[in-house]
Structure 1
Amino acid sequence: MSHYPDLSPYSYDESPRAMLNVGWLHPKHGYATGVVDERVVQALVILSAAYENQMRGFHRCEFCDTDRVSVCGGPNGDTRVWLGSAEIRVKGEDGTIYAAPNLVIHYITAHRYCPPERFCRAAVEAAGIDALGPLSLVE
């Protein structure tokens, strides 16, 4: 997968919308680690069923040898979503749109990736989850 620093301008694919990258990780580049509130993971799982920029193939995690990863996403948790083949896009309260590969869920849960706080807040808000207090803690 391509690497793009967090909060850099989105350029993976052509889009008429200005967006910022989140979670485009690669083993040759470091990334923020820490504790991410379970509400963020829950929100991303919910949002994963409304994927954008679906690809024909899929990307495996380059940090581990895990086989294809899937989650049961959507508001009711009844939609199987294969991670590594699409993007999750969320809009922050200030209008900023964030684009993350849906594999970001695996990066958070398996590799301690800690996305930027404002992306976490936007995801939780977009999924309709109560967001009191801090949502991530970078170590």
Structure 2
Amino acid sequence: MTYYPDLTRYSYDESDQEMLNVGWLAPEHGYRTGVVDERVVDALKILSAAYDNQMRGVHHCEFCGIDRPVVLGGPAGDTEVWLGSAEIRVQGADGTRYAAPNLVIHYMTAHHYCPPEEFCRAAARTAGIETAGELTLAD
């Protein structure tokens, strides 16, 4: 997968919307680690079933080699979602849009990736999950 630093302008694929990158990780680049509120993970699982920008190929995790992690996603949490070939797109309250590979869920749960707070808030907002207080805690 292509690496993009968090909060840089999205350029992975053509889009008619301006967006910022989040979670485009690679082993040769460090990333912020920490604890992310479970509501954010739940929000991303809900949103993962939408399969934004679905690609034909599949990307495996370059950190642990797992081929295709699976999560239960969608609004009811009962849709099997294969990670590694689509994006999750969210919008913040201020209108800022973010694009993350759906593998971001695996990065957060298996590799302690801690996305930017504004992305976490946007994910919860887009999924309709109420939040109060801090949603991330960096190491």
TM-score w.r.t. length of structure 1: 0.98
Instruction: Show the counterpart of 2:128.
Output: 128
**Is 1:80 the equivalent of 2:80?**
yes
Tell me the alpha carbon deviations over residues 11-55 of structure 1, each in whole angstroms, 9 at most, x when there is no partner: 000111100000000000000000101001000000001121101
Instruction: Show the counterpart of 1:7.
Output: 7
- In structure 2, distance between residues paired with 1:25 and 1:80: 23
- In structure 1, distance between residues paired with 2:57 and 2:79: 19
- In structure 2, distance between residues paired with 1:93 and 1:50: 20
Please list, as runs of the form range in 1=range in 2, the aligned pairs for 1:93-132 lying within 5 A after superposition. Answer: 93-132=93-132
Tell me the alpha carbon deviations over residues 108-137 of structure 1, each in whole angstroms, 9 at most, x when there is no partner: 000000000000000011111120111001
- In structure 2, distance between residues paired with 1:133 and 1:16: 33
Instruction: Show the counterpart of 1:60.
Output: 60
Secondary structure at the aligned position of 1:72 is classed as strand
User: What amino acid maps onto 1:64 in structure 2?
Assistant: C
- In structure 2, distance between residues paired with 1:65 and 1:88: 21
- Shifted more, 92-101 versus 67-76: the winner is 67-76
Pairs aligned (count): 139
User: What amino acid maps onto 1:82 in structure 2?
Assistant: W
- In structure 1, distance between residues paired with 2:11 and 2:67: 27
Tell me the alpha carbon deviations over residues 61-107 of structure 1, each in whole angstroms, 9 at most, x when there is no partner: 00002231011110001211110000000010010100000000000
Instruction: Show the counterpart of 2:39.
Output: 39
RMSD: 0.7
User: What amino acid maps onto 2:80 in structure 1?
Assistant: R
Q: Where do 5+ consecutive residues of structure 1 fail to align?
A: none
- In structure 2, distance between residues paired with 1:78 and 1:39: 17
Contact 2:59 2:67 in 1 (8 A): no
- Shifted more, 116-125 versus 73-82: the winner is 73-82
User: What amino acid maps onto 2:52 in structure 1?
Assistant: E
Kindly report structure 1 stretches of 4+ aligned residues shifted beyond 3 Å.
none
